[in-house]
Amino acid sequence: MQLPPKVGIGRQRSGLFTGERGFALLMVSPGLLVLILTTTFPLAYLIWSSFQNINLAMPFLDGFAGLDNYRNMMSDGRYWHAQQLTAIYTISSVFLQIAIGLGLALLVMQIPAGQWLFRIMAILPIVLAPVVVGLFWRTLMLAPEFGIVDFIVRVLGFGSVNWLGSPTPALISVIIIHTWQWTPFAFLVLLASLASLPPDIYEAARIDKANAFQRFIHITLPLIRPAIIIVVIMRSMIALSAFAAIFAATGGGPGTASEILNLYAYKTSFVELNFGYGSALAVSLLIITLGVSGILFHLRTAKRN
Amino acid sequence: MTIRRENPAKFNFKNIARRSVLKGAVSGAALLAAPAIFSGRAQAAGKYMDLESLRGANIDWRQAEGAKITIGVIPAGYFKNLEAVLPDFAELTGIDARLEMTPPGQIRQKAVLDLSSGTGTWASHAADPMYYPLYVANNWVDPLDGYLGNGKLTDNSWFQYEDILAGWRGVTSVDGKPYGIPFDGEATIQVYRKDVYDKLGLKPAETFEQFMSNAEKAHDPDNRLWGSALRGFRGAGQNMYIYPSIFRAFGGEWFDSSGRMVVNGPEAVAALEWYVKLLNNYSPQGVENWNWPDIADAFGQGTVASYIDAHGSAAIIANPEKSKVVGKIGFARWPKGPSGKRVTSIWNWSFPINAALSDKDKAATWLFIQWAASKETQAATSYAFPGAYKRTGANRTSVWGLDEYKAVLSAAGDNYIAATTESFAEDTDVEWRPRLPQWPAVGDTMATAIQSSLVGQSSVTEALNEAQRKIDAVLKG
């Protein structure tokens, strides 16, 4: 910049759309506008409608509801049931993804050549649309009598299990489906993180006669902790708001056995046509997701300090 | 029941080809005679139906000429047949009507979205009769008495609205006013393996106990034959389609004397227990995820000895290409419940008029509806249809009496026509399912309760009590 600083400051203060800063603002404004229209506005609308009675089945009751929707939520057994399922679904699927992903990454690290092959194979489930994954598991893998999983279980002598038709196996199934699709993500991130670890520390540890387990606990884990926490944050946020694969595989059923909060919110809004209460459910999910990721981010920075 | 003639797609193709040839002809002086050929054809019979008979109606079919309307339907054979004969409608009226196929799982949501936003995308759609109270509560569709009574729009001495099956007219009306005109529908009937029943000395069930004991006697899973099957899949149109018949046959009433909806009374408990017992003891594994096509497929593969479902499912089980049991099928009405009643479904797809349309488009839509529901089009899409699939859900008493129609139906199996027509005449019940604007929520709540108790997530009483709590909350608002 050739201008003296005083002039620059003066120009910045003179108006929103003048000067270099103004020009920059002008340039980003279309993008900003699109962002506001597509994310901020719907979000604000969602929060607004959660304080309203909007029920297409009872249009005569429409109007301001205050905290009624939230109050109803507190005494709604199905809401707490969905809440509980969401917790089970998120915690177990994220835990499994990290455990299996890390295990696989450690194994693949031992392979001297050809790691690229595993990387490519790992990408395949990730690029599938979740609806496709749900349908594929529902029909090809888990169908009673004809499914591949059921076939294997029967051959092993455990007898046929009605995977998607009984309450507990259905919940286990949707956790397995989610884990199957997203473990490769954890695997790829952790593999990259492992590959970047400095070999000299391990050499020093070996000289100090640390065994493999000690090396893993005292060197590998602390070094890759940031990567693990990032994976936990990203996967938890996605698992909390999972929808398509469960919708396609069980529709939240049988009964309400796999109806996590997101499905319940969808059903309330779009099947029962009660948009006010559905919005309140969605807002509660939003608060939970923000809270959980806030805590996790806090953990991450706390550890760093 | 299938006589192979020409493929309907082929007819469409020819028709399009003819139209584009005509367009080309406008620019070609050598083909000046073409319009004459065209109009000559138009004045004679249509391609699929007797247009002269339609023109006999004392209305101006061309009053909405040039209008363009889109109608949402499901991709089922009966609407595909209607789509195939649409060129005759265009020829008759000059209206460009297009059918948009949307899967049955999405059509209700899409219709509600369109109606609630007032965009008028679908001038009409194949409507679930249970949705009329919701539509009417929001004034989304026009009452049709004004159309039926308007001599400019309707010649009722020709159209004969009263000829449409009474139960179907009842369920598409709200407070006595019609809001939709039924196009195609069904009755639920008992279907059984005649050979199996004959061998075991069984008769089609007259009572619910007998249906259960027949299932028990025919049940032989070691030889891959299960006793019976009913819809187990969760949904207002799936398990909540079959359970209401059982509930009503047990003497259940949806509303008590004070008008409160009650779903956990003693009849409800007994009905649901009967359903759960039948499916858990005598149905193949996985039945809790079965809808009617799964049941019909299993029956067609010879693995289920009996079921109760729509009469239209005969199209699968009596089709030699899909079924191994052709010629071994018997039909009967619903068995009598403990209350002495037989209660069939009164399901039908009907056409309403979207209130958000312009007057001209409303007239065009009404002409389309009148045409589709007319005797001529019902005939042209059922027994007289040139394709392999012939509709079996005609909307009119008069059509069900025609020998040509009966000839198509009789191939399905023993007692098919009698079982179906008697069900229409005797077993329909307008209170089959609770008719109220909150049906989507109520139907889904009941569907969840039924499936929960079927898979043992909760007991019958618990599931119904939970449904009652939820329904109380829903109706309170």
pLDDT tens digit string along B100-122? 999 988 899 999 999 999 999 99
Contact at 8 Å (CB) between B127 and B372? no
Q: Which residues of A touch B136 (CB under 8 A)?
A: none
CB contact set of B130 (below 8 Å; sequence gap of 6+):
B236, B433, B435, B439, B443
Q: What does the pLDDT read at residue A58?
A: 87
Q: What does the pLDDT read at residue A305?
A: 52
CB contact under 8 A, A267 and B437: no
Q: Which two tokens stand for residue B24?
A: 């080309």
Tell me the pLDDT tens digit for each residue of A134-188. 998 988 888 877 788 888 888 888 877 888 888 999 999 999 999 999 999 999 9
- Report how far residue B236's alpha carbon sits from residue B131's, in angstroms, rounded to the nearest whole number: 11
Tell me the pLDDT tens digit for each residue of A7-26. 444 444 555 666 788 888 88
Tell me the pLDDT tens digit for each residue of A228-265. 999 999 999 999 999 999 999 988 888 899 999 999 99
For B211, B276, B313, B338, the CA distances from B82, given in Å and listed in that order, are: 37, 39, 19, 41
Tell me the pLDDT tens digit for each residue of A193-204. 999 998 898 889
Contact at 8 Å (CB) between B182 and B350? yes
What percent of chain A has a predicted confidence (pLDDT) above 70?
93
- Nearest of B443, B356, B280 to residue A57 by alpha carbon: B443
Q: Which residues of A touch B470 (CB under 8 A)?
A: 78
* Beta-strand relationship, B68-73 and B124-125: parallel
Q: pLDDT grade, residue A212 (50/70/90)? A: confident
Residue where the block lists tokens 């089970």: A88
Q: How far does Cα A144 stand from its chain's mean position?
A: 29
CATH number 3.40.50.300 given to A76-304: no
Please give the average per-residue pLDDT across A257-286, as a whole number: 94
| Residue A213 clears pLDDT 50, i.e. is over it | yes
Q: What does the pLDDT read at residue B42?
A: 42
Mapped onto helix, strand or coil, the DSSP state of residue B217 is helix
- Report how far residue A267's alpha carbon sits from residue A265's, in angstroms, rounded to the nearest whole number: 5
Per-residue pLDDT of chain B (477 residues), as tens digits, is: 334 333 333 333 334 333 443 343 333 333 333 333 444 344 446 788 888 889 999 999 999 999 999 999 999 999 999 999 999 999 999 999 999 999 988 899 999 999 999 999 999 999 999 999 999 999 999 999 999 999 999 999 999 999 999 999 999 999 999 999 999 999 999 999 999 999 999 999 999 999 999 999 999 999 999 999 999 999 999 999 999 999 999 999 999 999 999 999 999 999 999 999 999 999 998 899 899 999 999 999 999 999 999 999 998 999 999 899 999 999 999 999 999 999 999 999 999 999 999 999 999 999 999 999 999 999 999 999 998 889 999 999 999 999 999 998 988 888 999 999 999 999 999 899 999 999 999 999 999 999 999 999 999 999 999 999 999 988 886
- Report how far residue B335's alpha carbon sits from residue B246's, in angstroms, rounded to the nearest whole number: 10
Q: What does the pLDDT read at residue B7?
A: 39
Q: Which residues of B touch A85 (CB under 8 A)?
A: none
A74, containing H or E segment: helix A68-74
Other C-beta atoms lying within 10 Å of the C-beta of residue B351: 26
| Residue A299 clears pLDDT 90, i.e. is over it | no
Whether this model's pTM surpasses 0.80: yes
CB contact under 8 A, B134 and A53: no
Nearest CA in chain A to B441: A272
CATH 1.10.3720.10 spans which residues of chain A? 76-304
Q: Which residues of A touch B286 (CB under 8 A)?
A: 143-145, 162, 165
CB contact set of A147 (below 8 Å; sequence gap of 6+):
A139, A140, A141, A163
CB contact under 8 A, A58 and B137: yes
Domains and CATH numbers, chain B: 8-184+352-400 (3.40.190.10), 188-343+411-476 (3.40.190.10)
* A50 Cα to chain B: minimum distance (Å): 14
Q: What does the pLDDT read at residue A139?
A: 84
